[in-house]
């Protein structure tokens, strides 16, 4: 029943940070951030249903996350380059760390403790084995090297879903360096960024097609180079040549295209059967990401569309604002809780597990994510670096302190509960 993500969202009631003002100066996300939050909400809902066994192609929600991330991050970088004349990489990476690390650290610590208390011996051992790679933001390559099959071997891995977080972190490290190198070259800067993004997406497509022909498609599915297509298509959509072109689209035409693309994505999520889909690694993932990129830029750049209003309505927007913490929490909750809820039936167990994940995500966002991101001064500058080092050391101590489990002692074999 089980199988196998994120992204920045403004917090209600807080002043809009400078990085969002920079993005608005570039024209990225100026009027429809609520709609993009709503798309996150739909994406995380698809992932949650997929991992519970109710939506065969819901894993494609991860690709929508990737495209959104590429679009927003590139928009922020280009906005800063245009507004300030330069991109402060250290500041950018510091913002990414404040955005993503606090919730991740919280979930990893709690997941290790919960797995030790309620998981199987194998789950505890794999959690300890994977934890250093999670800390290094390279767990996707760890799974590839260990030949941990994404589609069949995830039920023993409490951190299996964090492969996508690793892909995003690696993109955040590499892509800004390329943007800095070319974005400041006057009027042609954004054209060069667009060219790099487009060419990179095509190279990634070629790698996906080549590697996707293997018996085990984990390399094609979790590799940063192969999944880069989605991130780079989002980045391409954020550049001035694409934005300027899209702004010429009439509102009614934009609504028609958004309706068609939204329905196409929904159908893909409903019918795609993972690795058994014959065209998934032969261009299917690329076409899905391309459709998502067009949908995103239309909603963000064509004002007043019904598609953006509906997508940005209260429920999907609220779910999108919780999407990062919700994605982090849901898989450990599913792995440890769903086998114990079998008496409720598939849907009953799913509803309870999602409710627990939502509560955990809301608490994490309220008391950890938002304070570190918006209000706590010590999380910035040198004190922020010191705090990160301290957290890394604490994580290393925790990893060393948790003993390797002995079969039958201190853990529960959840396979006996099914």
* CA-based nearest residue to 218, from 305, 300, 303, 160: 160
Of 42-56, 177-191, 239-253, 364-378, the one with minimum mean pLDDT is: 364-378
At 302, give phi and psi (nearest 5°). -105, 110
Q: Where residue 17 falls among pLDDT bands split at 50, 70, 90?
A: very low
Q: Where residue 151 falls among pLDDT bands split at 50, 70, 90?
A: confident
231 neighbors 283 (Cβ within 8 angstroms): no
- Express as a percent the part of the chain with pLDDT over 70: 81
Q: For position 326, what pLDDT does the model report?
A: 98
Distance from C-alpha of 23 to C-alpha of 31, rounded to nearest angstrom: 11
Q: Please compute the mean of the pLDDT values over residues 328-353 and round it to a whole number.
A: 96
Please determine, for residue 9, whether its predicted confidence score (pLDDT) is greater than 50. Answer: no
The model's pLDDT over 265-295, given as tens digits with 9 standing for 90+, comes to: 999 999 998 877 878 999 999 999 999 999 9
> Long-range contact list for 15-20, CB < 8 A, 24+ apart?
17/374, 19/76, 19/79, 19/80, 19/95, 20/76
Cα–Cα distances in Å, from 166 out to 2, 7, 113, 175, 179?
A: 21, 13, 22, 14, 20
Three-state SS at 165: helix
The residues, any chain, with a CB within 8 Å of residue 206's CB and separated by 6 or more, are none
Please determine, for residue 22, whether its predicted confidence score (pLDDT) is greater than 50. Answer: no
Please state the separation of Cα 98 from the chain's center in Å.
16
Please determine, for residue 87, whether its predicted confidence score (pLDDT) is greater than 80. Answer: yes
Run of H or E residues at 210: helix 189-211
User: Which structure tokens are listed for 313?
Assistant: 């309505």
308 neighbors 37 (Cβ within 8 angstroms): no
164 neighbors 65 (Cβ within 8 angstroms): yes
The residues, any chain, with a CB within 8 Å of residue 365's CB and separated by 6 or more, are 103, 321, 322, 325
Q: How far apart are the first and last CA of the chain?
A: 11
Q: Please compute the mean of the pLDDT values over residues 316-321 and round it to a whole number.
A: 96
The model's pLDDT over 32-83, given as tens digits with 9 standing for 90+, comes to: 479 999 999 999 999 999 999 999 999 999 999 999 999 999 999 999 988 8
Q: For position 6, what pLDDT does the model report?
A: 34
The number of beta carbons lying within 10 Å of the beta carbon of residue 302 is 24
E strands in 207-256: none
Q: If you search the block for the tokens 């919280």, which residue do you land on?
A: 106
The number of beta carbons lying within 10 Å of the beta carbon of residue 295 is 26
């Amino acid at each position: 029943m089980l199988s196998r993500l994120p992204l920045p969202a403004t917090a209600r009631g807080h002043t809009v940070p400078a990085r969002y003002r920079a993005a608005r100066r570039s024209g990225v996300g100026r009027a429809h951030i609520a709609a993009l939050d709503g798309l996150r909400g739909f994406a995380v809902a698809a992932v949650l249903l997929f991992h519970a066994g109710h939506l065969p192609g819901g894993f494609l929600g991860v690709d929508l996350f990737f495209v959104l991330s590429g679009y927003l991050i590139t928009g922020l970088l280009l906005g800063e380059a245009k507004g300030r004349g330069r991109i402060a990489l250290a500041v950018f990476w510091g913002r990414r760390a404040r955005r993503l690390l606090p919730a991740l650290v919280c979930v990893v610590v709690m997941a290790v403790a919960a797995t030790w208390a309620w998981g199987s011996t194998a789950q505890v051992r794999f959690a300890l084995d994977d934890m250093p790679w999670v800390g290094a933001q390279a767990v996707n390559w760890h799974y590839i090297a260990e030949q941990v099959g994404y589609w069949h071997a995830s039920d023993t891995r409490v951190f299996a879903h964090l492969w996508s977080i690793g892909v995003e972190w690696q993109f955040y490290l590499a892509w800004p360096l390329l943007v800095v190198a070319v974005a400041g070259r006057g009027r042609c800067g954004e054209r060069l960024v667009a060219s790099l993004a487009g060419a990179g997406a095509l190279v990634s497509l070629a790698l996906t097609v080549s590697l996707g022909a293997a018996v085990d498609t984990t390399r094609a599915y979790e590799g940063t180079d192969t999944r880069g297509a989605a991130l780079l298509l989002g980045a391409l959509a954020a550049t001035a040549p694409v934005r300027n072109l899209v702004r010429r689209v009439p509102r009614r035409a934009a609504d028609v295209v958004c309706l068609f693309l939204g329905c196409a994505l929904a159908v893909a999520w409903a019918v795609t059967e993972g690795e058994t889909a014959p065209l998934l690694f032969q261009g299917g993932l690329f076409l899905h990401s391309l459709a998502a990129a067009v949908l995103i830029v239309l909603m963000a750049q064509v004002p007043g569309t019904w598609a953006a209003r509906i997508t940005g309505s209260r429920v999907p927007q609220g779910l999108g604002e919780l999407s990062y913490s919700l994605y982090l929490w849901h898989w450990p909750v599913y792995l440890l809780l769903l086998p114990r809820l079998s008496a409720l039936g598939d849907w009953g167990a799913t509803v309870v597990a999602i409710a627990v994940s939502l509560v955990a995500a809301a608490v994490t966002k309220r008391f950890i994510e938002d304070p570190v991101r918006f209000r706590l001064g010590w999380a910035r500058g040198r004190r922020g670096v010191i705090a990160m080092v301290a957290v890394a050391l604490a994580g290393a101590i925790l990893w060393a302190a948790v003993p390797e489990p002995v079969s039958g002692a201190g853990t529960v074999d959840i396979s006996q509960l099914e």
